[in-house]
Amino acid sequence: MNRLGHIGFALLAGTGTSALLGLSFFPTVWLCAIAASFSTLPDIDLHWQSGHRGGTHSLAFMFAIGLAVGTTVLLAVACIFPHILPYIAPYFPSAAGIRISSSLAFAAGFAPVVIGIGSHLLADLLTYRGTPLLWPSDKKKYSLRMFKSDSAMNVIFGLTGFILFLALIFTLLPP
């Protein structure tokens, strides 16, 4: 798939997850924006000599990046947020006394990354080329062989994901 297809597929996955969990406006925007941002990360291997659809297209890569981002968000919330809260509280009275649990902070980083990269892996799994999901223990490329990577499905996923994301956002807009 190309970039448009991967971003659209991530928006579909993020929108669906948000709707299933009943998330409100801001968590939905966060989830979908981060998922869409990370949805093209596995294709960083296009810039390497080792070839495309290698280790960056695996579940190990997805969980490693998810853990790294989740931990970074957790540390940022635990170490930085308490120190900046006194400075922002006068401008946002509703922020006074906010306590963010460590599990929520971790999930706010981990979940959107896993959804974004996971949607990339799933989209590539649908193509003829497949993806090495179980790398490094198994380098076999798994494929459902439903369509070619460069097919019109990129535009279909791209537009459908964007339209459904906008539809959900407009239903969740605060009054």
Domain borders along the chain are: 3-172
pTM, entire model: 0.87
Calculated CA dihedral for residues 138, 144, 149, 151, nearest 10 degrees = 180
Tokens of 40: 């093209």
| 52-84 core/surface letters (b: 16 or more CB in 10 A; e: else) | ebbebbbbebbbebbeebbeebbeebeeeeeee
pLDDT one-digit tens code per residue, 120-152:
999 999 999 889 999 999 989 998 888 777 888
More confident residue, 90 or 154: 154
Q: 140: which DSSP letter?
A: P
